[in-house]
């Protein structure tokens, strides 16, 4: 989210307006995106589930190092806020999931 906050500042420094001139969205900065003005649209990842699946996959690899690499897609959530303006629609984002790839 730091990159998004820096981008927001650069946009404002150039005299542009969010969301009138530029729409803005971040990735996985749900908490930080609430305290900005305007609030920033973000893609929220299931961090606890990613951690849990990673540990399970690692344990499987430890038990059987001949296990093939594991690939799993976990859902994400698009949280639309006012920095996206009216030009951003859920259907247009294509954010369907985050891929978890673990292997040797």
pLDDT value at residue 15: 93
Residue 32's φ and ψ, nearest 5 degrees, are -65, -30
Supply the range of the domain harboring residue 49: 2-102
Find out whether 40 and 4 touch, Cβ atoms under 8 Å: yes
15: Cα within 13 Å, side-chain hemisphere: 0
Number of compact structural domains in the chain: 1
CA-to-CA distance for 62 and 98, rounded, in angstroms? 24
Task: Specify the 3-state DSSP secondary structure of 28.
Answer: coil
Beta partners for residue 42, in sequence order: 26, 79
CA-to-CA distance for 104 and 91, rounded, in angstroms? 35
- Mean pLDDT, range 4-30, rounded to an integer: 83
Please count the other Cβ atoms lying within 10 Å of the Cβ belonging to residue 36.
Answer: 20
Say if residue 90's pLDDT is above 60: no
Span 38-50, pLDDT tens digits:
778 888 888 899 9
Name the more confident of 30 and 100.
30
Write out the DSSP string of 69-87.
PEEEEE--EEE--GGGTTS
């Amino acid at each position: 989210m730091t990159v998004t906050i820096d981008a927001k500042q650069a946009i404002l420094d150039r005299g542009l307006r969010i969301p009138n001139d530029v729409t803005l969205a971040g990735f996985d900065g749900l908490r930080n995106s609430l305290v900005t003005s305007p609030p920033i649209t973000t893609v929220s990842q299931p961090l606890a589930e990613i951690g849990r699946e990673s540990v399970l996959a690692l344990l499987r690899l430890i038990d059987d190092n001949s296990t093939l690499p594991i690939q799993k897609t976990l859902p994400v959530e698009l949280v639309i806020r006012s920095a996206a303006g009216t030009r951003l629609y859920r259907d247009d984002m294509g954010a369907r999931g985050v891929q978890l790839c673990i292997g040797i």
